[in-house]
Amino acid sequence: MVLGVAATPTIAGGAAPIELKSIKFDLPESDRMFPDGRGSDAINNNCLACHSAGMVLNQPAMSREAWTSEVKKMVNNYKAPIAPEDVGAIVDYLVALKGAK
């Protein structure tokens, strides 16, 4: 069906009725952990509660300052309940794994 040039949504006259059906759907889980290393317990125990590891492990190499800023964003903006002593361990871990000069 050619809709033509539409500046505003066009009325779909005579269009097929759209049926909405209830959904029950399983979202996939990830059991991926952060690789072993100094501080891996801190990052695995604190961070995987909210999100899987994939996006973190796909980040570019970043400076200590940038990694610190990311972890602080998790605590300050996203209310991650990370004990202050764990924040340091998590930043150290990320810098060791994906640190840039």
Partner 1 sequence: MILQRTRPPLLETPFEVFDKGTLTPNDQFYVRWHWAVIPTDIETNKFSLAVRGHVNQPLSLSLQDILQLPRVELIAVNQCSGNSRGFFQPRVAGGEWANGAMGNALWTGVRLKDVIDKAGIKPGAVQVRFKGMDEPVVADAPSFMKSLDIEHARDGEVMIAYAMNGEQLPLLNGFPLRLIVPGWYATYWVKMLNDIEVLDQPDTNYWTKVAYTIPDTPHASIEPGQTNVRMIPISRMVPRSFVTNLSSGATVKAKVPVTLRGIAFGGDCGVAQVDISMDNGQTWRQTRLGSDESKHGFRRWETQQTFPTPGEHSFRVRCTNSNGMPQPDTPNWNPAGFMRNVVESTSIVAT
**Contact positions vs partner 1 (CB under 8 A):** 2-3, 5-12, 15-16, 18-30, 32, 49-52, 54-55, 58-62, 66, 70, 77-81
CB of 39 to partner 1, least distance (A): 19
Q: How many CB atoms lie within 10 A of CB 99?
A: 16
Q: Which is nearer to partner 1, 58 or 84 (CB)?
A: 58
Pick from 47, 32, 35: nearest CA to 98: 35
Rounded Cα distance, 79 and 61, in Å: 25
CB of 51 to partner 1, least distance (A): 6
CB of 72 to partner 1, least distance (A): 12
CB of 1 to partner 1, least distance (A): 9
- Output the six-digit token pair for 27: 């979202």
Rounded Cα distance, 87 and 77, in Å: 14
Rounded Cα distance, 5 and 61, in Å: 46
